[in-house]
Amino acid sequence: MKKFRAFLSCSLSEEDENLRELFKEYIESLGFEVTIYNFQEPIPLSNGIEKQIQVHDCLIALVTRRHKIKDSNKYICPSWLPTEIAWAKAYGKPTAVLIEKDVILEGLPKIERYETFDRNNLLNDFPKIIKYLTNLRELLFEHDIERLIPAPILVRNSIDSILEIRSRMEYVFTVEVTMTALSDNLQVCHHSTRLEEKYPNLSVKSKEFKFEIIEKPEHVEVKYHIDRNDDDMFLWRIIFEPPLAKGETIRYWYKRVSKNNKPYTLEEAEEKMKAPGFPFSEPVAFTDWLIMYPTERLRTEVLFPEGYIVKSPRFTVTIGRSGFHIKKYKD
């Protein structure tokens, strides 16, 4: 198993020594090689830390309490942790942030995902922390493969989708795809939905999933398999037997029912803005696509319950190098 190099941004105080070493051991058990910058170099301290972050695969920040805020039960963290998180983001390093209970996040860079812990209740907190760090390792592995082996262009897509907020609690995602193989021996096609935000009670776990083939070559059997279905990720694949040949086309449909992670009212959207790391300056909900292959058409329709009123909707589209397509809409 490849060991990824993780820079552990943390407090070096004696008070936190046992906690720091405990986290280091757990992180190493998950397949990381951990560096704590507690050694001397003949260069300024800040330069040494920045250099270390540059040469590591990722940064894991252990944000512990430092000073208690007057007339409050809240704490601020060591002053260098926000700077080290910001450096990691500036250098494009995947970052995992573990925040101790009662530590405020003011002064920290925008954090899309984080996990919390209570040093007095670690036994209960470690399962979610291990899951969080395992997801970081999976992300690093995906990035590593992408750097070493450029993704071949295997298919060309045409996509029509309906995103339906059926109720305050339920979300339905329906998609019809026409896919043409651009190379021979296409055995499988992967689909995934990943939870990119870290706010309480969010989940992409599917409660219901349906898949149907609309058109296919007569000699090809098409089936699907769900590889992972939990709060953080829904991962599934379509399998072709025998493999598709270049130029062969299939058309398929699938529907996924899951928990609604979108704010249902303007008040809920405004409340969500208060969460640490909310990435926008106004109350917005958003949906995103990550498409690796050429796509002739991507049509998305957003539906709300009957009688639901949407005021002043605005849409923004951004297309990146790999076809990253973001739509935002205001609740």
Ranking 22-26, 37-41, 61-65, 280-284 by mean pLDDT, the lowest is 37-41
Give the residues across from 212 on adjacent strands. 253
> What's the average model confidence in pLDDT over 188-194?
82
Model confidence over 241-282: pLDDT tens digits? 999 999 999 999 999 999 888 888 888 878 777 665 565 667
Q: State the Cα–Cα distance between residues 204 and 289, nearest whole angstrom.
A: 15
Is the peptide bond preceding residue 279 cis, with omega within 30 degrees of 0?
no
Q: Does residue 232 register a pLDDT over 80?
A: no
Tokens for 43, please give them: 């260069």
CB 286, CB 278: distance < 8 Å: no
Torsion of CA 291, 4, 136, 273, to 10 degrees: -100
Tokens for 202, please give them: 């969010």
Residue 331: per-residue pLDDT: 37
Tokens 């105080």 appear where? 13
pLDDT band at residue 197 using 50, 70 and 90 as cut-offs: low
Containing H/E element for 133?
helix 122-148
Residue 325: per-residue pLDDT: 33
Model confidence over 99-129: pLDDT tens digits? 999 998 766 666 667 899 999 988 889 888 9
> What's the average model confidence in pLDDT over 156-166?
89
Ranking 49-63, 144-158, 298-312 by mean pLDDT, the lowest is 144-158
Tokens 């651009």 appear where? 182
Question: What mean pLDDT value characterizes the chain?
Answer: 81
Tokens for 181, please give them: 């193989």
- Pairing mode of beta strands 58-63, 32-35: unpaired
SS3 144: helix
Q: Does residue 237 register a pLDDT over 60?
A: yes
CB 196, CB 111: distance < 8 Å: no
SS3 86: helix
Give the residues across from 240 on adjacent strands. 222
Is the peptide bond preceding residue 200 cis, with omega within 30 degrees of 0?
no
**Roughly how many angstroms between the first and final C-alpha of the chain, as a whole number?**
45
Q: State the Cα–Cα distance between residues 184 and 26, nearest whole angstrom.
A: 44
DSSP state of 320: -
Tokens for 289, please give them: 């696509």
Residue 247: per-residue pLDDT: 92
pLDDT band at residue 290 using 50, 70 and 90 as cut-offs: low
Q: Does residue 62 register a pLDDT over 90?
A: yes
- Nearest Cα to 122, choosing from 246, 22, 241? 22
Tokens for 286, please give them: 């958003």
Residue 324: per-residue pLDDT: 33
> What's the average model confidence in pLDDT over 307-313?
78
CB 209, CB 256: distance < 8 Å: yes
What domains are defined for the chain?
A: 4-148 (3.40.50.360), 155-329 (2.60.40)
SS3 24: helix
Tokens 């709300």 appear where? 304
Max CA distance (Å), the chain: 74
This prediction's pTM: 0.55
- The share of the chain scoring above pLDDT 70, in percent, equals 79
- Pairing mode of beta strands 249-259, 285-290: unpaired
Tokens for 1, please give them: 């198993």
Model confidence over 80-90: pLDDT tens digits? 888 888 888 88
